[in-house]
């Protein structure tokens, strides 16, 4: 039985381990900071009161946050999805997260489709654009799906790049919805477990998502080259 190659090189393995350690330290510092400066986040009743201050608009506010982070913010959507699961529960949190992310994805795609490459070049760093230039066109919809289904990869940037292709908005949104749904289900479910006090289950899910994301991000070049190769063979 062939061994699955988890890392593309020894250097990739070292960077992955260092990244995981850094993520663990970051989470620890974040936990301490929240405990000290925003303890209400650990008090379901206080948190519920704060959210209720938005009234019926609280889901709308959350959806807008999710949409905005796709277009202009560097915050991973899965991170805010945990918040959605915590606030609204796994079902509604996932729904609101996906609605927001799909709105943001549609906006990014449409900006590229309407205003062309000059607009994309102003919105995406030139190094990132250079790495993914032509990626969606070469790999097709299967390559786009595989790329977005893996958490940790710069799928927000690919939304802009996809707008430069021949694909229509409807087809693009179907692929993005199917590709992004698994990670958002997992992170919202983790958020729901946190709200219910099931900390062990939540931490196991989040640790798995974070570890997978770090590995994918540090090996993003290898993943991209592999998908390009599959596109050339098809």
CA 161, 206, 39, 90 dihedral sign is positive
Tell me the average pLDDT of the chain: 77
For the chain, the structural domain boundaries read 43-233
User: What's the rounded mean pLDDT across residues 197-219?
Assistant: 83
Half-sphere exposure of residue 138: CA atoms within 13 angstroms, side-chain side = 17
Predicted pLDDT of residue 1 = 45
Checking if the pLDDT of 37 tops 60, the result is no
Q: How far apart are CA 163 and CA 106, in angstroms?
A: 9
Rounded to an integer, what distance in angstroms lies between the CA atom of residue 76 and that of residue 179?
Answer: 15
User: pLDDT category, 209, cuts 50, 70, 90?
Assistant: confident
Q: Which of 33-42, 54-63, 110-119, 134-143 has the lowest mean pLDDT?
A: 33-42
DSSP 8-state symbol, 166: S
pLDDT tier, 220 (very low <50, low <70, confident <90, very high otherwise): confident
């Amino acid at each position: 039985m062939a061994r699955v190659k988890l890392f593309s090189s020894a250097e990739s393995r070292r960077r992955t381990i260092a990244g995981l350690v850094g993520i663990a330290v970051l989470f620890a510092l974040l936990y301490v900071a929240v405990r000290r400066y925003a303890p209400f986040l650990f008090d379901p009743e206080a948190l519920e009161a704060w959210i209720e201050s938005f009234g019926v608009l609280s889901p709308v506010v959350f959806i807008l946050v999710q949409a905005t982070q796709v277009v202009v913010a560097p915050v991973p959507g899965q991170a805010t999805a945990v918040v959605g699961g915590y606030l609204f529960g796994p079902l509604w949190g996932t729904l609101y997260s996906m609605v927001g992310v799909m709105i943001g994805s549609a906006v990014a795609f449409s900006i590229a489709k309407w205003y062309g490459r000059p607009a994309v070049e102003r919105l995406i760093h030139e190094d990132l654009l250079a790495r993914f230039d032509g990626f969606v066109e070469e790999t097709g919809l299967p390559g786009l799906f595989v790329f977005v289904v893996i958490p940790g990869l710069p799928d927000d940037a690919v939304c802009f790049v996809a707008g430069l292709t021949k694909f229509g908005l409807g087809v693009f949104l179907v692929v993005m919805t199917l590709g992004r749904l698994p990670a958002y289900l997992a992170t919202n479910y983790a958020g729901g477990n946190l709200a219910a006090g099931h900390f062990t289950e939540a931490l196991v899910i989040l640790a798995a998502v974070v570890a997978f994301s770090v590995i994918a991000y540090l090996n993003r070049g290898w993943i991209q080259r592999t998908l390009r190769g599959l596109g050339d063979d098809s």
